[in-house]
Amino acid sequence: MAKAAATPEEAGAEAPKKGNKMLIIIIAVLVVVIVGGAAAFFLMGNKHADEGEDGGDEVVAEEDHEAAAKEAKKAKLKKKKEAEAKGLPPVFVELDPFTVNLQAESATDQYLQVKATLRVDEQHAADHLKAYMPEIRHKVLLLLSGKKASELATPDGREQLADEIKNAVNAIVGEVPKGKKGEPQEPIGPIESVLFTSFIVQ
């Protein structure tokens, strides 16, 4: 048999029950959102406070790092003077020759053939360099192949290249101090200079 149609009073009684359930669900969701927001606020507040403390530590660490870099430079100069006073001969490390294609400036290809020698501060450093030789050669090859013939045509251009090689090798075997804003400074390492014993651009 078919069910009798609901009377208006029964329909009215069901509507408040559905409304009460909806109200309870909305209140529960609001409570969860408010509690979650408060928890997130407290957790983020603690994180920012920790970052503020770390920021102070970073400033102190940068100052310590700068002081350490200055001390390292002073120690290096002192060691050099002591070696000269003792009459110790300078120490050199000869690199195998490099032949690279230069960056194109015209229709014809140009290449560079270089023999270079590194002057180091002590014999121990010369022995230490041999362990890093594949990485050193890689970095020097990248530097050389990124140059144009016009950049290497003058003595100033060649001196600049020598300084770039010195800094690249010192960055590998030494350390790179950071400035106040975190920018890298000139690397400190055992390489005192780079000397070209042959330099041919064709």
- The three-class DSSP label of residue 116 is strand
Determine the residue type at 90: P
CA 145 to each of CA 57, 86, 110: distance values in angstroms, whole numbers, following the listed order: 41, 40, 11
Q: Which two tokens stand for residue 104?
A: 């194109």
d(CA 144, CA 142): 6
How many residues are recorded in the chain?
Answer: 202
Tell me what pLDDT residue 165 has. Answer: 96
Q: Are 199 and 116 contacting, i.e. CB atoms less than 8 angstroms apart? A: no
Write the single-letter amino acid at 171.
A
HSE-CB of 156 using CA atoms within 13 angstroms: 1
pLDDT along the chain (202 residues), means of 10: 53 60 82 77 60 50 60 67 74 95 90 95 89 95 94 95 95 86 86 95 91
Q: Output the pLDDT for position 158.
A: 96
Q: Contact, 153 vs 122, CB < 8 A?
A: no
Cα–Cα distance between 18 and 25 in angstroms, integer? 11
Following DSSP, what letter does each residue of 126-174 receive, concatenated? HHHHHHTHHHHHHHHHHHHHT-BGGGGSSHHHHHHHHHHHHHHHHHHHS
The reported pTM is 0.60
**Per-residue pLDDT, 9:** 55
Q: Which residues pair with 120 in a beta bridge?
A: 91, 191
pLDDT at 20: 79
Residue 86: per-residue pLDDT: 73
C-alpha 117/C-alpha 97 separation (Å) is: 10
pLDDT at 161: 96
